[in-house]
Amino acid sequence: SWGRGTIIMCTSGQYYNDALGLLPYGLPSEFAMVSVLQTLPGQLLVIPGYWITGSLSKSKGSLFLLRILIPITALLMLPGIVMAFAPFMWILPVVVIALNYTGLPQVPLFRMIAGVAPPGRMGEALSAAGITMQAAGLVSNLMIALTSSRVQNIPMKSPLWVFYPLAAVLQFCAVLPLLGNPRHGHWGAAAGVVEDQVMATIYAAVFGLRWLRKSQERSPHLQEASSSTEASADETNAAEARV
């Protein structure tokens, strides 16, 4: 799923300019307009989408929402094909906004990762997701480097549009691991499963009691160290007073 974003990001700029007929003789003002339209509308109008997704993830459960969002956002990849056959400047913001909304599954996904992580190891779990994201991006960049020149030689107008259905297929494949239940462990409390929420509460209570017991075991040693420090400070003050 993360690889599809890199595929689109690597090819979108050249694809938009080619579809609009700006290559190679477009005006600087036209290139500047394309640059603005492929960034600002999506960045601004995707904010409500993230807010709504976060609210739904909390109320409906991350797993339920993730299973719905992945197919929907896969379909949102397809409007990019329109630029090849209807190359109008006003269509570009629509395509860009749709593509920005394809990142919404990350909200329930990272909420699930944080919920599944063992107590005290949330940072480790999130960093593993980040490493996976970067690895997927690296593989996608290699694929683009090896195939883009061949795709551009296809005898059709703006042939880079073929990467958009490919990205949609990759996005849709992300739903396959979520169709069943894991063989070992659970999805975590953030998934919205009642059993996992109960077990997460129990584990949190057990971990809290364990931490309290260990802190009480260490407290006598801390008190002894504090007492010895205070005694040495009193002796130092007394010695200075005698001098």
Angle between helix axes 122-152 and 106-116 (nearest 10 degrees) is 150
Beta carbons of 98 and 79 less than 8 angstroms apart: yes
Amino acid 55 reads S
Residue 93, pLDDT score: 93
Instruction: Give the model's pLDDT for residue 216.
Output: 72
Mean pLDDT by 10 residues, the chain (243 residues): 72 89 87 91 93 88 88 92 91 93 90 78 84 85 86 86 90 84 56 63 75 71 54 55 55
pLDDT for the residue numbered 122:
78
Nearest residue to 1 via CA among 123, 104, 144:
104
For residues 132 and 2, give the distance between their C-alpha atoms in angstroms, rounded to a whole number: 8
Position 90 scores a pLDDT of: 92
**pLDDT at site 229:** 54
Distance from C-alpha of 50 to C-alpha of 73, rounded to nearest angstrom: 13
Q: Which amino acid, residue 160? A: L
User: Tokens 């603005």 sit at which residue?
Assistant: 36
Q: What is the pLDDT of residue 9?
A: 80
